């Protein structure tokens, strides 16, 4: 499903070459073994594995709590929830403000949201207003102005990258229209296989081709494609239908929030030069060597954490570990949000792009 191609994507920071990219896990290992400014720390890997081991029986490390983690989503019992997931994950990128004091805000049912949650609140608000924002027939043809109304902020700071969000959403809607008219019908083409789902999404929807070149090697992260599959799994788990195979193929979702948590937990270490650049507010372009190293080493550190966690479960409990990297990401992202004040001394890297 991921054919060799030689085309230039309108979103890509590189021209696709005949050699297909390494998949995210292999990309993470390739990058971590060659990284010059980001390093995976084994002591930190052990520490995080121990932390997760102590939580192994909690709902924090399952997909069954999807609705709790996504309070603004429609009830998972409806296929509308799956289209909601598609709309949100297709536009799930670049929420950080130019200035911390200038956050885009959306208030829904008396609660004011910032960051990624502004998108969730805006989509659910639009549904209540009668706008068919989860219907591919509508969002495949909606205007920039219509999307701007849906994503309107409650203050003077708009949601960033409106034009890009419009482009990827209408593009994605057209793909769904060509494959049955819903996300459910589209993704069913991959059967119940997580890897095939990611390959299908990346093949059919150009904006999901989160790829770069590192030391002459074509690599991939597929953050949004993987989180789309993980969210689909979460909805289906909430329905009691989460029998998707190969979920362990997914990696963590390489963004800007989880790497900060991994540095805080000492599973990752940045060089002094990189720390200085980030503290100085330097923006990293998509595909910049340092940006690629942050994302790649994040993937590999979580793979090592997962492997060590499974060893602990086997050694101490005599059981097979069922916790995958997606679930670890589901834990680390809100962990980083919750402890953002304690992590304030660790700079988040900023890259303005559609991939995360």
C-alpha–C-alpha distance, residues 225 and 250, integer Å: 10
Instruction: Identify which of 160, 170, 163, 209 has the alpha carbon closest to the alpha carbon of residue 13.
Output: 209
* Packing angle of the helix pair 289-312, 257-264 (nearest 10 deg): 60
| Residue of 210, 231, 255, 329 with catalytic role | 255
Task: Kindly tell me the burial class for residue 97, based on how many C-beta atoms sit within 10 Å of its own C-beta (0-12, 13-18, 19 or more).
Answer: middle
C-alpha–C-alpha distance, residues 76 and 109, integer Å: 20
> What tokens does 335 get?
């962990």
Active-site residue 154, yes or no? Answer: no
Instruction: Identify which of 188, 181, 251, 189 has the alpha carbon closest to the alpha carbon of residue 219.
Output: 251
Contacts of 20 (CB under 8 A, 6+ apart): 2, 3, 4, 218
C-alpha–C-alpha distance, residues 46 and 315, integer Å: 14
Task: Kindly tell me the burial class for residue 254, based on how many C-beta atoms sit within 10 Å of its own C-beta (0-12, 13-18, 19 or more).
Answer: buried
Residue by residue, DSSP assigns 303-318 as HHHHHHHHHHIIIII-
Contact assessment for residue 355 and residue 286, using Cβ atoms and an 8 Å cutoff: yes
Report, as residue numbers or ranges, the catalytic residues: 255
């Amino acid at each position: 499903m991921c054919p060799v191609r030689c085309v230039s994507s309108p979103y890509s920071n590189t021209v696709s070459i005949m050699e297909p990219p390494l998949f995210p896990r292999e990309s993470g290992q390739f990058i971590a073994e060659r990284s010059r400014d980001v390093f995976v720390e084994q002591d930190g890997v052990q520490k995080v594995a121990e932390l997760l081991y102590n939580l192994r029986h909690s709902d924090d490390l399952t997909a069954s709590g999807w609705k709790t983690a996504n309070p603004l989503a429609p009830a998972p019992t409806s296929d509308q929830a799956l289209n909601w997931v598609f709309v949100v994950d297709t536009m799930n990128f670049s929420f950080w403000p130019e200035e911390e004091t200038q956050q885009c805000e959306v208030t829904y049912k008396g609660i004011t949201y910032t960051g990624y949650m502004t998108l969730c609140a805006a989509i659910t608000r639009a549904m209540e207003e009668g706008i068919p924002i989860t219907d591919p027939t509508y969002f495949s043809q909606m205007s920039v102005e219509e999307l701007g109304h849906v994503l309107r902020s409650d203050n003077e700071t708009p949601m960033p990258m409106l034009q890009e969000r419009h482009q990827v959403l209408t593009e994605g809607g057209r793909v769904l229209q060509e494959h049955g008219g819903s996300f459910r019908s589209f993704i069913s083409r991959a059967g119940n296989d997580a890897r095939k789902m990611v390959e299908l999404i990346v093949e059919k929807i150009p904006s999901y081709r989160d790829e770069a070149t590192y030391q002459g090697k074509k690599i991939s992260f597929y953050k949004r494609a993987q989180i789309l599959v993980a969210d689909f799994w979460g909805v289906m788990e909430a329905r009691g239908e989460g029998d998707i195979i190969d979920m362990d193929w997914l990696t963590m979702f390489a963004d800007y929030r989880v790497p900060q948590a991994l540095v805080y937990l000492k599973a990752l270490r940045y060089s002094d030069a990189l720390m200085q650049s980030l503290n100085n507010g330097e923006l990293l372009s998509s595909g910049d060597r340092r940006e690629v190293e942050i994302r790649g080493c994040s993937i590999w550190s979580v793979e090592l954490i997962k492997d060590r966690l499974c060893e602990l479960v086997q050694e101490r409990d005599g059981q097979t570990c069922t916790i995958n990297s997606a679930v670890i990401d589901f834990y680390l992202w809100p962990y980083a949000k919750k402890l953002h004040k304690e992590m304030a001394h660790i700079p988040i890297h900023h890259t303005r792009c559609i991939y995360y």
